[in-house]
Amino acid sequence: MARGWVVAAAIIIAGAVCVWPVSAQAPAPAAPGGLPVAPVGKSPAKHSKYSVPRTPWGDPDLEGVWSSDEEAGVPFERPSGQAKAAVDGSELEELLEQREQQRANTAPTVGGATGAGPTHWYENWGRKSARTSLVVDPVDGRVPPLTADAEKRQQGRVGGGGSFGKGPFDKPGDFSLYDRCITRGLPSVMFPAIYNNNTRIVQAPGYVALTYEMIHETRVIPLDGRPFVAHGLRGYLGDARAHWEGDTLVIETQSFSDKTNYRGAGATLQLVERFRRVSGKGLRYEVTVHDPHTFSRPWTAALNLGPGVDLFEYGCHEGNYAMRNMLSAARAAEKAQVPAAKK
């Protein structure tokens, strides 16, 4: 099963694709939910004359299966010592070689002796994105600092790290929501892992539906301006409402369950996601993360999505042998420590 670490530690071989420049800071415009959306760069529409096709009822047509595979290997945050948002030429070749090497070195030993599977399992090996981080705002490509309150909460957390952490492994609740096959979470599900990086978009009048291959979750999001559900109704994927801003689909999500934890943010997390078709074969995705209880300011990450292939059913929970294996291994390890005289 894919692990979140891959997002941070992946390598790509030489090559150059699109470069998305980061604009200078400007006052943030507000989304209709009242949440500011940080500007993240020149609109590609300025560089091309692409005209977004329409559905029969006149909405921009984003239908299709879209993959984040091409951005695999780009670190979530820009490494220190790297000043540019994107590189090219020989600098790019060097960067991609470094990433590939690092990924190949790390894979065999992730999680101790178990490792993370042979590299030929990875669907997104050898990708060529020239970006140096998926975070695009702040301009340094790094997530802003946590608030003092959030720091305290992080320190108070016992365990964590899921199946690749140090335990305890006493019960299913000691594992991550991902290990337990409950959810891949938002916005994590959009970011590339070693496989299942496909998102299907289906549109009908008044709705847009997103199906995420990783754990087959689907959100059917109304476009009719109805209010959010009351905060008493919470979910692992929260509650979402969408609207169009020109050709851009804007999805606002709130009411996350307090059992979720996105980089320290739980029930107070709010997301503003934007999807815009930039060509026959590409979508631009941006997510702005808001949580004044957790992050010192909102921040934005972005992905260039390309054409994907039809989704396979990912029967994560149905096939979750790992959970039984991990729990029984932990119980066996405990038993092995019992002195022989007591057995």
Partner 1 sequence: MNGIWQSVGTANWNLEDHSASATAFWQLGAIGAIPAGQSVVEGGTIPYLPAALKQRDANRAGWPKSDPEAKCYMPGIPRATYMPFPFQIVQGQKDILFVYEYASSNRIVHMQNHSEAPVDSWMGWSNGTWEGDTLVITVNGFNDSTWFDRAGNHHSDGLTVVERYTMQGDNVLQYEATMTDPKTFSRPWKIRMPLYRRLEPNVQLLEFKCVEFSEELLYGDLKKK
Applying the rule CB under 8 A, the residues between 156 and 185 that interact with partner 1 are: 168, 170-173, 180-183
User: CB-based burial of residue 157 (10 Å sphere; 0-12 exposed, 13-18 middle, 19+ buried)?
Assistant: exposed
| Least distance from partner 1 to the Cβ atom of residue 226, Å | 5
Residue-wise DSSP of 33-64: TS-B----S--GGGT------B-TTSSB---E
Tokens representing residue 24 in the block:
């200078």
Task: Please identify which residue in the block is written with the tokens 């020109």.
Answer: 246
Site string for partner 1, 17-56 (x = CB under 8 A): --------------------------------------xx
| Least distance from partner 1 to the Cβ atom of residue 325, Å | 10
Report DSSP state, residue 173.
Answer: G
Measured in residues, the chain has a length of 343
Tokens representing residue 315 in the block:
């029967």
8 contributes a contact to partner 1 by CB under 8 A: no
Euclidean distance between CA atoms 146 and 187, whole angstroms: 18
| Least distance from partner 1 to the Cβ atom of residue 191, Å | 19
- Using the rule CB under 8 A, which residue among 76, 164, 207, 262 binds partner 1? 207
271 to each of 278, 298, 308, how far by Cα in Å? 22, 10, 24
Binding segment for partner 1 (CB under 8 A), chosen from 27-35, 114-122, 197-205, 298-306, is 197-205
Binding segment for partner 1 (CB under 8 A), chosen from 14-22, 30-38, 112-120, 195-203, is 195-203
Euclidean distance between CA atoms 167 and 204, whole angstroms: 45
Applying the rule CB under 8 A, the residues between 310 and 339 that interact with partner 1 are: 310-313, 315, 317-318, 323-324, 327-328, 330-331, 334
Cis preceding linkage at 187, omega within 30: yes
Contact residues: partner 1, CB under 8 A: 55-56, 61, 63, 168, 170-173, 180-183, 200, 202-205, 207, 209, 211, 215-218, 220, 222, 226-227, 229, 233, 235-237, 310-313, 315, 317-318, 323-324, 327-328, 330-331, 334
